[in-house]
Amino acid sequence: MQYADPETLKILLVDDEPKIVNGLERNIGMMEADWEIEVAYSGAEGLEMLARESFDVIVSDLRMPEMNGAQFLEKAKVSAPATLRFILTGYADQDLMVRATGVAHRYLIKPCDSREVIDAIRQVYESRSLMLDSDIIRFVTETNELHINNQPLQDLLELTNDTDCDTDDVANMIESQPTVHASILHVSNSAFFGAGGQIETMREALHILGLEFVSSLASFELARREMNLPPHLHAMAGTVLKHCVETSQFALQMKPLIENPQFLSTLSSLSLLHDLGKLVFLMRQGDDYARLWKESAEQNVPLWKMEREAYGCDHAGIGAYLFALWGLPEALVQGVAWHHQPTKAMKDRLCPVSLLHMANYGAHKTREQSAYCSGELDAELAQRFSLSPDFHNELKRQSA
């Protein structure tokens, strides 16, 4: 399957209000001269167009008479499964929005100008072009089980993207999700944070761990909870989560190496999210993926390399693409994409991508036994920053 070049995309805009949709068409057309933009004034008309020609992206209004945006996208998902589905929605449309769960890849909140629509589309396509293989897109776009537009997750992301958001808003949101709440309290009470058994409330957790860290942990938890896995695969998903938490803990030990304080919080989030792509494999490939874990350990070949051989893509690419779809910041998308091959995205100094690679390596190395082979310290990175393969133990000694 061939995927389009982001410079020449074909977009279908669907809205019953001619003034809005014609305005979008005109403005997007002016800003992106090489994009081909078609307009439909109803869901039925949109479906006719999809039957006749193929599009890269659909941007549909949610509130429309007769066939609403959720019903339209549901049908569009069947007739054009590889097309990205964006939905335009207002805050007043909460009831309808719930029905759009599972059919839209991404929500755009109205009022939303042409620039925002373009940026959202470009962000997804730019991350696509970073990935090696179009199989990634097939994997993620067709993974229905992982509700990437899961309502609480979307709410949380919107909340934390809002510059006015405060700790109380996030605490309230998380407290409405008991399992997420429980797992955040669990992590924040882990001995590592020096607060063993003392944190009782979400507000205290946010105070100690920071907003960014807690929201990433909550995102991870919400995504994991949405999965429908048999019990033995759930245990594997738990192993992935545990490894991510351990990576974030190791990342904190690397504090002395980190010059820019902003990098530390980016790194905390990245650590928690970096291996989420493994969960997509678990859902899509199930026992076949479990077998690959075993083989990776037996043959001592890094899991991501085996994934590429078996499925044509790896969990780093899948995770990055998923996060681009969710609208997460570019630094997170890039970090996840290249966490096994940091030199492909590395800057001169230690940046979040290379720091994540080191934290991931350190977290794997400090575990006695791993369910799969965990990969090596990138040789070029090690040489450039004079890192010994034993740097994780040196760090430990320094912080002791």
Residues that bind Fe ion (CB under 5 A): 275, 360
Q: Which is nearer to Fe ion, 55 or 289 (CB)?
A: 289
Q: Which is nearer to Fe ion, 87 or 290 (CB)?
A: 290
Phi, psi (rounded to 5 degrees) for 14: -125, 120
Residue 194 CB burial class (10 angstroms; 0-12, 13-18, ≥19):
exposed
Q: Which is nearer to Fe ion, 160 or 219 (CB)?
A: 219
Shortest distance in whole angstroms from residue 131 CB to Fe ion: 15
Residue ranges in 142-177 assigned as alpha helix (H): 151-161, 167-175
Shortest distance in whole angstroms from residue 333 CB to Fe ion: 15
Q: Which sign, positive or negative, has the C-alpha torsion 276, 339, 265, 154?
A: negative
Shortest distance in whole angstroms from residue 277 CB to Fe ion: 8
364: three-class secondary structure by DSSP: helix
Reported as type and span, the H/E element at residue 40 is strand 36-40
Q: b or e along 38-62 (b: 16 or more beta carbons within 10 Å of the residue's beta carbon)? A: ebbbbbebbbebbeeeebbbbbbbb
Shortest distance in whole angstroms from residue 342 CB to Fe ion: 12
CA distance 338 to 352: 10
Q: Which is nearer to Fe ion, 106 or 315 (CB)?
A: 315
Shortest distance in whole angstroms from residue 70 CB to Fe ion: 35
Composition of the chain by helix, strand, coil, percent to 5: 60, 5, 30
Cα distances (angstroms) measured from residue 225 to each of 8, 61, 99, 107, 234: 37, 29, 19, 21, 10
- Among 316, 328, 324, CA closest to 84: 324
Shortest distance in whole angstroms from residue 243 CB to Fe ion: 6
Q: Which is nearer to Fe ion, 28 or 320 (CB)?
A: 320
Q: Which is nearer to Fe ion, 219 or 360 (CB)?
A: 360
42: three-class secondary structure by DSSP: coil
Shortest distance in whole angstroms from residue 356 CB to Fe ion: 9
Q: Which is nearer to Fe ion, 57 or 303 (CB)?
A: 303
